[in-house]
Amino acid sequence: GFLKPKKQENNRSSSITLALQSIFDEKTIRLLIPIVGSLLAIPTWYLTTHTGGGDNAFQFAMFWLSLEYLVAECWFGPTIAVLQTSVGTSKTGTAQGIFVLTGAVGNVAPTILGWLYGNQVADLPSTTTSNEVLADLLGWGVCAGYLLSAIFFGVSVFVSGESDAIPAKK
């Protein structure tokens, strides 16, 4: 039927998987997904906020935003999988709670951007519109967040590799 992948496509994805598995362990492969996703989110988000003001500006912005969602939101599943396999079963709840708390702290960023926006709009020269300020703040602020995410996911690759080398206490 139409739901079965073609053999050629299956072979291609299998060869990519085998190539990755020959270089990296499973945990590292899982962490590469959010690293690549965060890096791809940088240009797609920037293009979302800096699409020119032509007749189709909204459509172009929505195109880039949809791509941004596809690449940027792929991190959650692999991250949770690595988190759950990295800590012992007695610490899974604590690790999950810390993970959720970290996300809550990250939700302060829109408040900070809003405060910066309010301060910058108050000091605007008459030649600058508040739309330009908002696009710049969102563009650079969110892109910096994605870059930091990629860096921290990269650090987690090395930390998770080191934890595998440390023998567990009995």
pLDDT in tens, 24-55: 777 788 888 889 999 999 999 999 998 877 88
Residue 78: predicted pLDDT: 84
Instruction: Count CA atoms closer than 13 A to 84's CA, side-chain side.
Output: 7
Instruction: Indicate the DSSP class of residue 5.
Output: P
Q: 20-29, 58-67, 74-83: which has the highest mean pLDDT?
A: 58-67
Q: What is the pLDDT of residue 6?
A: 46
Kindly report, residue by residue over 87-115, the tens digit of the pLDDT.
878 888 888 888 888 888 778 888 888 88
pLDDT at 156: 82
Q: Is the dihedral of CA 41, 46, 49, 51 positive or negative?
A: negative
Whole-angstrom Cα distance, residue 145 to residue 50? 17
Is the separation of the CB atoms in 3 and 44 below 8 Å? Answer: no
